Amino acid sequence: MAWNKLLGLYKEKHLIQTTILNNKLASAYCFVGNEGIGKDGFAIEFAKAVNCYTPIITTEINEQGNEYKTYNACDKCKSCKMANNLSHPNIQFIHPYPAKTNLNDEMYAVIKEQVALKAADIYHKITIPKANEIQIDTIRSIKKKVALSNEKGRQFVIISNADKLNTAAANAFLKTSEEPPSDTTIIITTSNKERLLDTIQSRCQMLYFSPIPEDEIANYIEEKYHKSETSSRLFATLSQGSITNAMDMFSSNMNAMRTKIVDMLRVALKKNIYRVELSDMITINNFDDAKIDKRHYYKLLLNLLIIWLRDVLAISAVGEDANIVNVDQKERMTKFNAGYPNANYYDAIDYVEKAIYKIDSNTDPKLTLITMFLQLRKVFHNVNY
């Protein structure tokens, strides 16, 4: 089924399918949620389902034993094929665009390629150089296309990253949303609702999207990108329910980073003569991944440590049958747990979380990590530092 392309979002799918079945489509929607959870793809599937020539309506039974109907695009008719290619005359997909002064044949080729990638993968993040905002010319052009279209079905205008509408474009959009044509639905998507004008929000039916379940992200990464089970679970756990966040970490050597931070913990917990070695390990120049922001790198390291400590906590509570993320580290974590049988892992995790907060607050990362490891010594050795 077409909706199955989207991971998670079960409540959102049920709500919109029920809306279609009851023919109660709103004139404007605002899809709100973290980046990379499928808001744009959801909007496209919504528009495709409404315009499908031969939709599939089925009756299902939920966990409570109650019947409910589903509404899916067939994915075979001409309308669905055009929608899948983002070439449907009834579906206008708007995204941030470069200014006219930056447009040339090379830039048009980049834009065409990015849209094609989005059509092929609903989780693709469109990346176009110098495309920092949505401009008024784009809104005016869409208004004309909607007015002149003679394609049967319902018109959909999808504005991705609507928080990037510049002032002139936002005002033009407001006028359009005041009295949209009766056969038109406008969908705006955003990960930054607070940046949208209140007047724009007031004209839309708000729909808040949930993060994608971690197990679904892990399975998706393992199957689509052929990552190991452990790497896939690490990416998923750190993703905050976002496919985009998970893929942004692909360039990082997660296993090496995990080894690095756990080795730092090992050194920090030495009985004595640990300070110089620990300081050298924390020094940023020793890090081997120069592709990402260093402050972000420290946070990623600490998040990996939290996951590792949570796994040790699970092993201490449940034993070998514990459901853990770092499955390849099971033996090492079991030995670690045996070495610190009385440690309060909740306190340890709390110290790491506070360190992440301090880094977010622009505290010096190296000093923050040194302080954190001294606190962890107190947790695991039960001594003052």
pLDDT of residue 53: 92
Look at residue 187 in the predicted model and tell me its pLDDT.
92
The model's pLDDT over 136-165, given as tens digits with 9 standing for 90+, comes to 888 888 777 766 666 688 889 999 888 888
pLDDT in tens, 86-124: 989 888 888 888 877 777 788 888 888 888 888 888 888
Q: What angle do CA 363, 366, 369 make, to 5 degrees?
A: 90
- Angle formed at CA 274 by CA 272 and CA 278, multiple of 5 degrees: 165
SS3 133: strand
Structure tokens at 287: 């890090």
Residue closest to 358 by CA, chosen among 295, 280, 309? 295
Q: Which of 33, 116, 169 is nearest to 42 (CA)?
A: 33
* pLDDT reported for residue 285: 47
**Could you tell me the domains of the chain?**
2-210 (3.40.50.300), 251-381 (1.20.272)
The DSSP annotation for 317-348 comes to HH-TT---S-GGGHHHHHHHHHH-TT--HHHH
Residue 14's CB is within 10 A of a number of other CB atoms, namely: 16
Say which DSSP state 98 is in.
Answer: -
Give the residue ranges of the chain where pLDDT is below 50.
Answer: 285-290, 385
184 strand-pairing partners: 155
Residue 371 carries which DSSP code? H
> Which residue shows structure tokens 């394609």?
151
pLDDT value for 116? 87
Q: Which residues are CB-contacts of 345 (< 8 A; sequence separation ≥ 6)?
A: 309, 310, 312, 313, 316
pTM listed for this prediction: 0.74
Give the Cα separation of 351 and 80 in Å (integer).
Answer: 52
Amino acid at residue number 100? K
